[in-house]
Amino acid sequence: MKKFFIAIIMVLVPMVASASSGGVHLDSMDADPTNHASLQRGMKTFVNHCMGCHSANYQRFDRAANDIGMPVELMAENLIFGDQKSGEQMTIAMPQVDAAKWFGTAPPDLTLETRLRGEDWIYTYLRSFYKDPARPWGVNNTVFPDVGMPNVLEGLQGVQMNHCSPEELAHQKSEIDPLTGLQIGGCLTISEKGSQSVEEFDKTVYDLVNFMSYMGNPVKLESQAIGFKVLIFLAIFFVFAFLLKKEYWKDVH
Ligand code: HEC
């Protein structure tokens, strides 16, 4: 019985851990690995805005291009800024030791980040930076308090203000005002507009996290296709197994 309880706890603990967000409400998003246009926009944003600091060491440029329906030459021309070849991994030049000195923590590799945090967490995190002059980069984050990362998408999103205490944050709900396109009712509101509207920015971040979700599980579509074939096989195999069982048990009864 004791073993049974230990097994149950071992199954449940990772589920709780991966769903944890420090109590803050997370906006949900559904990644869509079939949406090539979204994945391509996401890769562009990732390469332009994230790879200054974060690597994706387990992802190769050409594999990504092939999987998301982008011609490899076009990708190499527009999305490789270093001296890498298109068959190489998406590494960066910033040394981890220096990065740790500059930011307090080295920016982690993001290839498997969606596996670690989940899409919803990253989607909410990237949209939840707010102005906080007490922090070294002038920004804080409601999902990741006292984060060491600057708000690299501020030019697109604009500057946000936070009106809530941590307890209020846990229950925040917001919606977009159809007239102004600005967020209303939530803890975070835009105080200085960026180059994109709230809806456009949400879409940019959606595409970015969609691409990160692809990197975290590049064979998702293949797995689903194989899973489907396996189920068909099992359904056909079941008929033969059932007939065989009947044959064996015929003489027993
Ligand atoms: C100027 C450097 C810099 C850039 C550019 C940058 N980040 Fe970061 N990022 C950091 C640092 C530093 C941390 C570590 C923060 C900490 O642990 O306090 C971090 C942390 C993160 C985390 C949380 C990691 C974890 O699980 O603890 C995510 C997710 C993330 N970054 C995503 C992104 C994305 C997506 C982009 C591109 C839009 C991006 N970052 C651009 C510096 C950067």
Indicate the pLDDT class of residue 2, thresholds 50, 70 and 90. Answer: confident
pLDDT at 182: 59
Q: Is 187 annotated for ligand binding?
A: no
pLDDT at 103: 93
Q: How far from the centroid of its chain's Cα atoms is residue 220's Cα?
A: 14
Q: Is 53 annotated for ligand binding?
A: yes
- The CATH number assigned to the domain holding 31 equals 1.10.760.10
- Contact of 18 with 164, CB cutoff 8 Å: no
Considering the domain architecture, whether residues 143 and 235 belong to the same structural domain is answered as no
Site of tokens 């420090």: 22
Pocket-testing residue among 116, 125, 149, ligand 1, by greatest number of atoms within 8 A of Cβ: 149
pLDDT at 231: 98
Considering the domain architecture, whether residues 137 and 237 belong to the same structural domain is answered as no
Q: Cα of 50 to ligand 1 centre, how many Å?
A: 8
Q: Is 54 annotated for ligand binding?
A: yes
**How many structural domains comprise the chain?**
2
pLDDT at 225: 97
Protein residue closest via CA to atom 1 of ligand 1: 53
Distance between start and end Cα atoms, the chain: 37
pLDDT at 153: 98
What is the residue range of 247's domain? 222-253
The Cα–Cα gap between 123 and 46 comes to 13
The Cα–Cα gap between 54 and 49 comes to 9
CA atoms within 13 A on the CB side of 70: 25
pLDDT at 168: 81
* 193 Cβ neighbours under 8 A, 6+ residues apart: 158
Considering the domain architecture, whether residues 214 and 228 belong to the same structural domain is answered as no
103 Cβ closer than 6 Å to some ligand 1 atom:
yes
Take residue 94 and report the two structure tokens written for it: 């910033």
pLDDT at 152: 97
- Contact of 210 with 39, CB cutoff 8 Å: yes
Q: How far from the centroid of its chain's Cα atoms is residue 129's Cα?
A: 16
52-109 pLDDT, tens digit each: 999 999 999 999 999 999 999 999 999 999 889 999 999 999 999 999 999 999 999 9
Considering the domain architecture, whether residues 185 and 64 belong to the same structural domain is answered as yes
5-59 pLDDT, tens digit each: 777 777 776 665 555 556 788 999 999 999 999 999 999 999 999 999 999 999 9
The Cα–Cα gap between 214 and 61 comes to 13
pLDDT at 221: 95
154-211 pLDDT, tens digit each: 999 999 999 888 778 777 766 666 766 656 667 899 999 999 999 999 999 999 999 9
User: For the CA atoms of 213, 34, 36, 220, what is the dihedral angle to 10 degrees?
Assistant: 40
SS (H, E, C) 150-189: CCCCHHHHEEEEECCCHHHHHCCCCEECCCCCCEECCCEE
Considering the domain architecture, whether residues 188 and 230 belong to the same structural domain is answered as no
- Contact of 85 with 111, CB cutoff 8 Å: no
pLDDT at 171: 75
Is the residue at 48 inside a domain?
yes
Considering the domain architecture, whether residues 211 and 243 belong to the same structural domain is answered as no
Protein residue closest via CA to atom 2 of ligand 1: 53
10 Å Cβ neighbour count for 200? Answer: 14
Is the residue at 114 inside a domain?
yes
Is the residue at 214 inside a domain?
yes
Is the residue at 82 inside a domain?
yes
The Cα–Cα gap between 230 and 236 comes to 10
Considering the domain architecture, whether residues 204 and 229 belong to the same structural domain is answered as no
Is the residue at 15 inside a domain?
no
Is the residue at 3 inside a domain?
no
Is the residue at 14 inside a domain?
no
Q: Cα of 150 to ligand 1 centre, how many Å?
A: 8
90 Cβ closer than 6 Å to some ligand 1 atom:
no
